[in-house]
Structure formats: C-alpha cells, structure tokens
Structure 1
Amino acid sequence: MQTSEKQMETALSSIAVRIDSLKNSLMSLQTKLERDQPNWPALLESFATLSGHLNMLLRQIKHDKTPPLQNSVVLPVALSQQRDEELERLTEGRVPVLHHEIVPDYLRTKLDLELESQEQELEVEVAKLPQETVQEQVASLNDRVRHVLQLVSEYKENWEERT
C-alpha cells in the first residue's frame, strides 16, 4: 500500500511542477497582453509555449507510472469558519476559508442543476430535429468551412508572393 501512496505522491508532485510551469506561461501571456501591444509572432510564440506545457502535462498524466487519478477521492481534512493562512498561501489567495458552504462547489463533479436542465433541454430539442435536416446543416457548414479555408489559403499565397 505504501508503494502506491509513494507513486501517487511522486506523480502529483511532478504534475504540480508541470502545472506551475503552465501557470507561469499563462501569467506571462497575460502580462504581455495587458502591458504591451504584442505582435503576431510574439503571440504565436506564447501560444506555442502554452501548447508545449499542456502537451507535457497530458503526457505526464497519461504516463504508465502515473496512477489513475480518476480513481482517487478528494476530501477536505477539516472545515473551518476561520481564515486559514496556509490554505490561502497554497491557493495563492483564491481560497481564504474552507467551510461547509463552499466545499460542495469546489468538489463538484457534476454541473449545476440549472446548467444540467438547460443541457437536457438542448438535447431534447436536438432529438426532435429530423435526421435529414441535421445532415443538410452539417453539409452546409462543411461547405462554408471549405470555402473559408480556400479563401484563407489564397490570401496566404498572395501575402507570401508580396513579401
């Protein structure tokens, strides 16, 4: 049992490192967007960096030595109405208090009831549509996307010829 706990602890610490690097990249992008007027190559570089961090995080999560996290249960150790400085430090000021009113929101695995009912209404509406209409709309959307892609590639070719 201890080896699985050690594996979980090791996996979570390496995932936390990946998440920190992703968070730092996001904060860097946010700073660029707020303070500077970034040019297109700088934005593409930032997005490529974010994509790399996300891919590394996904690889880490899917790695063979990473225990399946979906089988783990997360429970609060203690609830309190008092401000918890350690919790606030760990969450970087986002969660100053962990009490019985907010724990269900933080640990929720399902949608809010209101959102869930809206989603069910949409599914009912979709189910009512005739299959032929859906196929026609999908074909129409595909045609429009092909046309836009064609326009973009033509503009790109023209742009490359000019430069």
Structure 2
Amino acid sequence: MQKEEKQLEHTLESLIQRVQDIKNSIANLLVKLENEYNILQWPSVLDNFALLSGQLNTLGKLLRNEKVPPLRNSILLPIALSGDRDPELEKVTERRVIAFNADVVPHYLRTKPEPEVEERLQPVLNRASSLTPEAAQKQINAMNKMTSNIVDIIKSHQETMEKEANQKSSLSQTSSQADTNTLLSAVLTGKGFKSSGMRRTDMAQQQSNMQAQQQAAQQKQQGNAHGKVQSSIKTNIKQGSSTHPYQRN
C-alpha cells in the first residue's frame, strides 16, 4: 500500500510539473498576443503552438505510461470546507483560491465538463450517434483521401525545393574571392601596379646629367660674355722626365 502511495505521489508531482510548463507557455503566448500584436510575426506564433503541442504530447505519454497508476481509481473528496481565508491554499493556487468553500468545490472538483461546454458538445455527440456505420465510414474515407492529397502536395513542393537547392549548389563558381581582394587592393591602395617609365635610379642619373649640361651652358655663356671661353674639362699634364728609360750608359 505504501509503494502504491509513493508511486501515486511521484506521478502527481510529475503531472503538476508538466501542467505548470503548459500553463507558463499559454501565459507567454497570451502576453505576446495582448502586448506585441503590432510586431508579432506568424512564425513566432507557430513556434509557440509547436511548443504547446510538444508539451501536451509529453503529458499524454506520461499519463499512458505503464508505471503510472490508473488515476481513475483514485477519488478526490473534500475533507473539510471553510469560508475562512487559507494562506497556504492561496499560495499553492497562486492567489486564485483564497478559501475552500462550497462555491469553489463544484468548479475545482468536477468530473464532467462545465455546463456551457457540455451544451456545445452535446449536439456534436448526438449528430455522431445518429450516423450509420456506412455513412461514418464514407466520411472517414473522404477525410483520409483529402489528407492524402494534402500530403502529396506538400511532398511535391518539398521535392521541387530540394531539386532547386541542389541545382544551385551544383552550379560552377563564377567568382573568386582572391581575385576580388586583389582588385580591391589595386584600386584602393595601388598594390600590384608597376611604373611604365624608367627606374628611379635612371631618372636620378638623367636628372643629374641634365643639371650638369645646364651648368656647362651657363659657364659657356659667362665665358662668351668675358671674351674667354672657360673649358669645363680640367687637365693635369705632368712634365716628362729628361732621362730616357732605355738610355745607354
């Protein structure tokens, strides 16, 4: 008996945690719908619905687990009713229930849907029960055919998108990042350009020669002005020796 109670307690803790996660997800979605409806994008809404769907599936798997005791065999009964404020109950229910009285019990311990929900559900149940097995099977076949067509359309679009993606990836590359970088360096910094004229040393030598010729021309003009031409060539004549190197004694 103690083992079953511990197992039930562990199951209830897991259920409370899963339900709390679902509650938080719903609260976040409602906050977005109320405060961010101007900038809210459809993919974000789909992500929230996908999260809720996954959490509900996890809760369903937990309830269908073999280790989970059948909760239908457990009965929840109010031990005591009180109209006084209960701080512990208020804390557990996040201030939704402040007192466990006769007005609260029918809503929180009900085993049937609320009257409004039950009224909306009853016509659907009556219509379903009035169908003959042949008509029900016919509607099931029509629904299966419709869903199969939708699946085929989705697969066809998926194959087309994958084919286009493969074609784009198989195209030969028409550009080179290295060549682009080289071109940018040449345009922005002049890297890689070679001068079409002479080298710097040749240009310096030619410039010096031109300066020397200009100086010589100036000296020539000055010499003509004084009546004497000064030669720009310096000579050093040495006096020859009086003795012959091969003179006989």
Distance in structure 1 (CA, Å) of the matches to 2:99 and 2:75: 21
Q: 1:139 to 1:28 in 2, by over 3 A?
A: same
Distance in structure 2 (CA, Å) of the matches to 1:62 and 1:140: 30
Give deviations 1:40-96, integer Å, cap 9, x for gaps. Answer: 3x1111111110100001111111111011111111232111111111111112111
Which residue type is aligned with residue 78 of structure 1? A
Which structure is richer in relative contact order (CA contacts within 8 A, separation 6 or more)?
1
Whether 1:28 and 2:31 are equivalent positions in the alignment is no
TM-score with structure 1 setting the length:
0.69
CA drift at 1:5: 0.1
Q: Taking every aligned residue pair, what percent have the same amino acid on both sides?
A: 41
Q: 1:27 to 1:111 in 2, by over 3 A?
A: closer
The partner residue of 1:65 within 61, 67, 75 is 67
Unpaired runs of 5+ residues, structure 1, are 150-163
Q: 1:101 to 1:125 in 2, by over 3 A?
A: same
Query: Which residue pairs with 1:74 in the alignment?
Result: 76
Q: 1:84 to 1:38 in 2, by over 3 A?
A: farther
Q: 1:91 to 1:135 in 2, by over 3 A?
A: same
Distance in structure 2 (CA, Å) of the matches to 1:125 and 1:59: 30
**For the Cα contact (< 8 Å) 1:32–1:38, is it kept in 2?**
no
Q: 1:97 to 1:145 in 2, by over 3 A?
A: same
Distance in structure 2 (CA, Å) of the matches to 1:23 and 1:124: 32
Give deviations 1:84-110, integer Å, cap 9, x for gaps. Answer: 111111111211111123312322223
Q: 1:72 to 1:126 in 2, by over 3 A?
A: closer
TM-score with structure 2 setting the length:
0.48
Which residue type is aligned with residue 3 of structure 1? K
The partner residue of 2:56 within 43, 54, 57 is 54
Question: Which SS does the other structure have where 1:65 is aligned?
Answer: coil
**For the Cα contact (< 8 Å) 1:18–1:53, is it kept in 2?**
yes
Which residue type is aligned with residue 40 of structure 2? Q
Distance in structure 2 (CA, Å) of the matches to 1:126 and 1:55: 26
CA drift at 1:27: 1.3
Q: 1:89 to 1:134 in 2, by over 3 A?
A: same
Whether 1:39 and 2:42 are equivalent positions in the alignment is yes
- In our comparison, the structure showing a higher alpha carbon Rg is 2
RMSD over aligned CA atoms reads 3.6
Unpaired runs of 5+ residues, structure 2, are 152-249
